[in-house]
Chain A
Amino acid sequence: MTNDDFSIIGKPIAMVDAAGKTTGAGKYTDDLTMSGMLVGRILHSPFPHARIKHIDTRRAEKVEGVVAVITGKDAPTPYGILPVGHDEHALAVDKVRYVGDNVACVAAIDEATADQALELIDVEYEVLPAYFDPEEAMKAETNLIHENKLNNIEKDYHHVFGDPEKGFAEADCVAEARYIANEVTHAAMEPHSTLAAFEIDSQTGKPGRLTVWSSTQVPYYLQHKLALVLEMPMAQIRVIKPLVGGGFGGKSEVIPLEIIAAIASRAARAPVKITYTREEVFWAHRGRPRTIIDLKTGVTKDGRITAVKARVVQDGGAYCSYGVVTILYSGALLGALYDIPHIQYDGYRVLTNKPACGAMRGHGTVNVRFAFETQMDELAAKLNLDPAEIRQRNLLQAPCVTINGLRVQSYGLPECIEKTVERSGWKQRKGKLPRGRGLGIACSHYVSGAANSIIRSDMPHSTVNIKIDRDGGVVVYTGASEIGQGSDTMTAQVAAETLGCSLGRIKIVAADTDLTPIDIGSYSSRVTFMAGNATLRAAEQIKKQIAVAAARKMNCPVEELIFRNDVVSRKDASVARAPSPADLAENQPTVSGHVDGQILRGSLQQKRKDEGPKTSMSFEEAVVAAIDFHGALTGTGSYAPPPAARGGKHKGAGVGPSPAYSYSAQVAEVTVDEDTGEVTVHKVWAAHDCGRALNPVSVEGQIIGSVWMGMGQALTEEMVWKDGMLMNPGLLEYRSPSSVESPEVEPIIVESIDPEGPFGAKECSEGSLAATIPAISNAIYDAVGIRLHEAPFTPERVLSALRAKTAHKKIDLTEGVDPTAPIHFREHGGALWFRGKGPERHALDPARRETRAETGGDD
């Protein structure tokens, strides 16, 4: 089917919730208020690793306006997003493990009062040695961050597929190097916010049900963890997700404030709202860990990959979070992009005394892809092959199953490479640009949702219910979480297209655990594929019921009916025509949401009587007929990934498999200022195979957004640490790019039409990110001939690499670290090399290096 066969799918429509966002009328969690609502503020640890000896809250409690002060003892049950990682407490019970860890919470009548009371909580700490460098942390035997994690290793995996040694023996050329990617965070514009309120139970007269409004990507997981920590039945907890101001993974697990607000509300016996400050958002973090990648790739002289060996160390921070999944993704998604016959992977997720890392856009794949695609470029240069060509020589022969058990059915990578090469003028321009200007190419891929849920069970990953009533309105109930990516719009489009009705009829009720069936949430780019399929199935089920009734009215077999553009007609009827633009405009919802039909029914019924059996009827007539016939119209559909997509049997095989993979190829054009080291990205051509673009404007927006975020990680974004202190916990110093230096991104949609995706659709919101970083590093090489192995490519790193090549007067711009061959994380990896003293830490602190003699300016 082509897009012309659809009325709503494949059309560039405004998001169904756009007006609420552009008028300010849409409500995010922090916009909500309730009578009697209190404000919660959290006390955070000033130490990276310390035992809490004593907490005295009495002085704080006495402050006028303070209603409750809570600490770890008010909810001592540990939790965590992964069943294997229940290592967090909402508020610290015995130890704090990073600067910013949660210690206590004050609920008060306003923010100023709560802030004032926080200063009056007395906490006595016993400072412990802290670990900031994962390679150091792995050597530790005492003062472990979590007592049950030996050597501070959260998890390590050692995978061998095929025979890597044999593969390397067959190689004509082998590249081996260390790559380092520093830490980045989501920095979604909306700081996390949660409002929690209990209702009084009519039977017991005591607080009963809990309702939590929260900025979450995963309402169902939140409900689950709240039940665990608050020791309440899940059925007594309702989680509602209002509009969410961006997630990118930072809201894809339970964040401490969500549980703290509920505990505080229970203690204060009043609704409590907590909204993080921006600094608290940085402490909550869950971003992309800084990563060391030791990568070895063997190729034959014609560029075929013979084997890949990767050792990956991730600096995971103080808690497990999604860490076990992250380290597995890093290995699993070495496969499924290219055809690699032999793979060895050793992954270490290490605990350190820093905020926990978690899932961030491109989860687990991004840093390894930076290393891999840069090394591919290096190999191409060694073999004198075109970098686009070497990638084309290693394509999978889809459909296939990769050596590590990933099933690939639709594979648009060849077309992605072809199109970016063509649009960017690669063949004519590569290598022919003036000095200082260059082109680089790289590819990436990503899952369309995980084939195995993090909660091991046979439950569907998505379920959608649809109700249609006599008014002709279609209400879709979905647990899928709109976080700005277009979840609600996708759902409405799929439902409307399937039912052949106009978009204006569709009302979306989403992400409210009382009203909507379980959906595991918006993460790993699963919503279009999984919730989309569930919507499709629910709509098909209800459509069948309508068809039965309509077929009776029209005296024809069900199979003869066509549902399109608010008309149900027989195939032989003349009304079944493609809609004109005027029809489409007419079918758009009016501002009030009013849809014609109801008023006309009387006259239509009269008309029908006059005319006898008919060849077509309006959608609304068909609905009325169906309700008269069946009694009620509801449909339900669910989606669980098929067993064939769920991967192999080895330990850790559960992570990586997906029902479908998206593909991306990108060319970046950059200039490098050789005097300053500043890199300017002029343009990125980004081709992305999204299966089918259900809404091209949205798909393009997701591609551009991913590329742009990748560019941020490539050039300007970096969390900078010093002795466990985050030096840049704000949007002023954590530099997410502004409009001025953001390049033009030309999105190129490639449609491979996946056999299992809804209308052939698959992932489009994450997969493009990973290719951007190596595309830029490869373009820098093309421009000025330097290979950067440490991201981000800040001006001092670029200049340092440039100066190393020339006979220029030697200036140590990067504190002795060669960005073309980094060896280890600095204690404070980053563009900042603090020779500063920093805070006093434990005397035996293994991470505390000897303070270097300090010049401190020369006056």
Chain B
Amino acid sequence: MSLPQFTLLRPRTLQEAVGALGKHASNIRVLAGGTDLIPSMRQKLFEPKYVLDIRQLAELKGVYHHPGGGVSIGALSTLTSVEHSEFLRKHYPVLSEAAATVASPVLRNMGTIGGNICLDTRCLWYNQSLTWRKGCGFCIKKDGDLCHVAPGGTKCWAAFSGDTPAALLCLNAEIELASESGVRRMPLRDFYTGLGDTYRTLQPAELLTRVFLPESLADYRGAYRKLRVRGSIDYPLAGVAVVMKRSNGQVADVQIALTAVNPAPVLVKGIQQLLHGKAVDDQLADAAAVLAAKTAKPLTTSALTPEYRREMIRVFTKRVLLEISGQWPVVSGR
């Protein structure tokens, strides 16, 4: 499968990069790790006139701790570097865990944290070759006017399938977006629209440059559990990230986020109210799990039935809550 034709731009500085983005905003795609873009271009899902290769921008790589001011992670930091960062592992374990489950080790050597945040939403009716999509009459996300998954409506239900954003949402992460006109910073939770097609608020001339983790959430307990069929390679079919701070055995602060079961990674609303000030026990974990499962709206966008995937959100949420409350033997999740 050949790639569609494009002009390759290889800026050496961030300034050059945002300049090129501004100039060709209507018809350009950013190439970082390439693990999402290149296979999709082979399937002719994207046929941009320009490809902006930002692999050389060293200024966007690395994890930096700003004492008192949290952590900044360059968008081009590979998932391997996030996974292996001793600092993150110690202070933001939920992120290391989530990074360690993405695809496979070699893909994590290539894929970046920025790419994982910007990851295109996925659906088995969409992530197919041009010939295949012709055979099914295309879909609303690309070239068609119908969602096969929910043909009644006019909405795209492709599932957001990144692992790390669930962890980042729990950590109240913010992101930095750069363009020719300057830099803006926004909470990650505002980045996603909840729609399958126009799934992010990134403007065409903007580049995701950095991710910030607040100091206040450092050292929270945290864990990420991923539903996948194989122990490697697979995208998540459901994912649950949990962070928690306890004081005197009671929940002082908690966040739960889900991925791969909605068109966006989502925080479970109401979890704080449910758990705050209480000690997590089986019954409470059950109630939280039910709440999480209600937040999940999986459809037939991937393998395993939606009902099963939603049920696993429930099972995983309960397990993780009990686990990080020290009430469940810690098992290595698949």
Contact = CB atoms under 8 A, between A and B. Distances in A.
B150 A277 contact: no
B315 A839 contact: no
B293 to A, nearest CB: 10
Contacts of B137: 839-840
A112 B1 CA distance: 8
Interface in B128-172: 128-129, 131-132, 134-137, 146-153, 155, 157
B305 A831 contact: yes
A832 B232 contact: no
Interface in B299-324: 299-300, 302-305, 307-308, 311-312, 315, 319
Contacts of A732: 233-235
Contacts of B227: 676
A732 B235 CA distance: 9
A831 B304 CA distance: 5
B312 A676 contact: yes
Interface stretch (A251-259, A382-390, A576-584, A723-731): A723-731
B297 interface: yes
Interface string A114-155: 010000000000000000000000000000000000000000
A859 interface: yes
B229 A833 contact: no
A735 interface: yes
Question: A interface, by DSSP: helix, strand, loop or mixed?
Answer: loop
B66 interface: no
Contacts of A24: none
Contacts of A111: 2
Contacts of B147: 856
B231 interface: yes
Interface string A827-859: 000011111111110000000000100111111
Given A795-B304, A813-B307, A279 B132 contact: yes
B330 interface: no
Nearest to B311: A811
Given A794-B304, A856-B147, A676 B230 contact: no
A25 interface: no
A856 B229 contact: no
B334 interface: yes
Given A735-B229, A838-B148, A833 B334 contact: no
B192 interface: no
B300 A834 contact: yes
B229 A854 contact: no
A716 interface: yes
Contacts of B150: 836, 854-857
B315 A738 contact: no
B193 interface: no
A709 to B, nearest CB: 15
Interface of B is mostly: loop
A560 interface: no
B291 to A, nearest CB: 15
A46 B151 contact: no
A837 B148 contact: yes
A837 B304 CA distance: 18
A326 B131 CA distance: 31
Given A676-B315, A856-B147, A716 B229 contact: yes
A163 interface: no
A47 interface: yes
A845 to B, nearest CB: 14
B234 A796 contact: no
A799 B308 contact: yes
Contacts of A677: 308
B57 to A, nearest CB: 29
B309 to A, nearest CB: 9
A799 B315 CA distance: 12
Contacts of B302: 832
Contact of B135 (A46, A811, A837, A855): A46
A733 B301 CA distance: 12
Interface of B: 1-3, 5, 104, 124-125, 128-129, 131-132, 134-137, 146-153, 155, 157, 227, 229-235, 297, 299-300, 302-305, 307-308, 311-312, 315, 319, 334
6 contacts: A725-B136, A728-B303, A831-B304, A837-B146, A839-B137, A856-B151
Interface of A: 44-47, 99, 110-112, 115, 277, 279, 675-678, 716, 720, 723, 725, 727-729, 732-733, 735, 737-741, 794-796, 799, 811-815, 831-840, 851, 854-859
Per CB-CB distance, the 5 closest pairs between chain A and chain B, nearest first, are A856-B150, A740-B231, A796-B308, A837-B151, A836-B148
Given A675-B319, A720-B303, 12 more contacts: A112-B5, A733-B124, A741-B230, A741-B231, A799-B311, A813-B305, A813-B307, A855-B150, A856-B155, A857-B150, A857-B155, A857-B299
